[in-house]
Amino acid sequence: MWLNQFLLVGAALFCIGVYGVLARRNGVMVLMSIELILNAVNINLIAFGAFNGTIAGQVFALFVIAVAAAEVGVGLAIVLAIYRNRSTIDLETANLMKG
Amino acid sequence: MIVADALVAQNIFFGIIALVMIVAALKVVTTRNVVHAALYLVVVLAGVAALFVLTLAEFTAATQILVYIGAVIVLFLFGIMLTQARIGTETHLDNERKWIAGLVAVILAGVMGYALLDGYGDTMLDKNGELSVQTTAQVSDAIFSQYLIPFEVVSVLLLAALIGAIVVARRE
């Protein structure tokens, strides 16, 4: 197996996630796209950890998973708060702080 | 010979998993049904776990399945359920700038792909012909010795996120 196999799959997932974050207007869908980006990072961490033969890649991938779980919890709570106040999770309408 | 056969089998499985993952990820960001997007996300996350198994990172693969497929997807489904009255196809999931977003993603993919191919060319993942298994015991030893302080910080972060989510989502 080449190192690049994993890195290219990670890059592809990252770009798909970036497209999702930019193109979606539903708050939950944007959070799902962020999960794609975080998973792309995890693939890179694991691949480089295996490449270098160190355990650090796995440890930091575990930290990323923990932080991603926290991020989803807080993110969905914010989306729920927006829904309660505005009855929609269309991010185009969340412009209260727009200058 | 056996090693060579195993490597070929690994590459074949890698190709299948990667193809399924990319297609499912594209469906996540293009499908018109929010629930289907969450279910396609399950496929992507399972594929990531399978890639972890291919690199012999067994504990991280198990954690990926437990935390992501077990917990995060359920959270997403609850989020969809609580914020959306109707389940089914929707017409207004994408904003009007999605072509620009697609252009950005394609350019980014081109730049990253070129940089990776240029930088890592045909570097093998398994330099010595085989990968070393990174066992759960090694992971726990590393977390509870060298990475103890980051681990405790992550614990506090999870507690803070827990309390924060309750405070934000609570009705007044």
Q: What is the pLDDT of residues B38-84, one digit of tens each?
A: 999 999 999 999 999 988 889 999 999 999 999 999 999 998 888 87
Between CA A75 and CA A73 the distance in angstroms is 6
What pLDDT score does B6 carry? 58
What pLDDT score does A1 carry? 77
Find the closest chain B residue to A63 by CA distance: B154
Using a CB-CB distance cutoff of 8 angstroms, which residues of chain B are in contact with residue A39? 44-45, 48, 68
The pLDDT-based confidence of B4 (bands split at 50, 70, 90) is low
Between CA B51 and CA B18 the distance in angstroms is 8
Alpha carbon distances (Å) from B68 to A11, A23, A78: 20, 23, 20
- A residues 53-72 lying closer than 8 A (beta carbon) to B: 53, 55-59, 61-63, 65-72
CB-CB under 8 Å, B83 with A74: no
pLDDT tens-digit series, residues B107-143: 999 999 999 999 888 888 777 667 777 888 989 999 9
Interface confidence (ipTM) of the complex = 0.91
Regions of chain A where pLDDT drops below 70: none
Q: Is the pLDDT of residue B1 over 50?
A: no
User: What's chain B's average pLDDT?
Assistant: 87
CB-CB under 8 Å, B79 with A31: yes
Q: Is B49 on the interface with A (CB under 8 A)?
A: no
Find the closest chain A residue to B118 by CA distance: A4
What pLDDT score does B88 carry? 59
Task: Give the rounded percent of residues in chain B with a pLDDT score beyond 70.
Answer: 90
